[in-house]
Amino acid sequence: MNHLRGVYTIWYRDILRFWHDKTRLVGSVIFPLLFLFVFGSGLSARMGAFGPGIDFTMFIFPGIIGMTVLMTSFMAGMSMVWDREFGFLKEVLVAPISRASVAMGKTLGSATVALLQGLVILVFAPLIGVSLSVGAVLALVSLMLLLAASLGSLGILLATRIRSMEAFQAAMQMLMFPMVFLSGAFFPLQGLPVWMNVLVKINPATYGIAPIREVILGTVPGAAFGVSLFGHTMSLWDNVAVLAAFGAVMILLAVWSFSHQE
């Protein structure tokens, strides 16, 4: 019971911090919308169609949702480093709850915040000509939550070994931006140079954004998107399985690392 109460308390604290930070609330919406309506609209006429009835803005819309979820969930690690520097984490660690509870609570808190931000971006789907059924929205909620938990646990894992905000920010930039840009969020995954194709395939974010795009845009014959691994075109469930396996490993490593730090 103490374990579950500890997870809930850490989760609830992260939700409250996000809700009361109005600047963060506004900024988390404006940044992805700039990508969607400025970057997307500006290049849509030049990029051509990515499938029957799919322009560039519609193509990058799932990628921007994935980018928002990924970047927000990664912030869980920064939050933990912040708590360590200002002494809050020390107080939590002496409380009668397990360290695994703290790691799980931080991961779930960041995943929930990331999900909420992803849903805010999803509201703008009708403005770019994308219509979604209730079933599609429920599927997207599950996919975004899986992506957020998987990448959030990676952020927690890094935070257990990085002691300063400056070092974590540098590490986050070195990982997060390449993961976003090499995930197929802004370009199709076909016809890439060999070196880039390898990086795309080993990028876990690729397997999070691909199923989101499939649910939003559907399986369109002749569309220039999809993940092909060893000659096999990955289905939605294939992508989910890869991302879930990565997330499970990251969560276990994050819990283990956090439980063994000083």
CB atoms within 10 A of CB 233: 9
Please state the rounded mean pLDDT for residues 1-7: 69
Please state the rounded mean pLDDT for residues 107-131: 87
Tens digit of pLDDT for each residue in 172-189?
888 888 898 888 888 888
Please state the rounded mean pLDDT for residues 125-133: 84
| CA atoms of 251 and 14, how far apart (whole Å) | 18
Instruction: Say whether pLDDT at 229 is over 70.
Output: yes
Which pair of structure tokens corresponds to residue 249?
A: 């490993």
Please state the rounded mean pLDDT for residues 6-16: 80
Lowest mean pLDDT among 79-93, 139-153, 244-258: 79-93
Tens digit of pLDDT for each residue in 131-170?
888 998 999 999 999 999 999 888 888 888 877 777 878 8
**Burial (0-12, 13-18, 19+ Cβ within 10 Å), 2:** exposed
Please state the rounded mean pLDDT for residues 47-72: 80
**Burial (0-12, 13-18, 19+ Cβ within 10 Å), 121:** buried
Listed in order, strand segments (DSSP E) in the chain are 228-229, 232-233
pLDDT score for 165: 77
One-letter identity of residue 140 = L
| CA atoms of 192 and 146, how far apart (whole Å) | 27
In sequence order, the 6+-apart residues with CB closer than 8 A to the CB of 173 are none
pLDDT score for 164: 78
The domain segmentation of the chain, as residue ranges, is 2-259
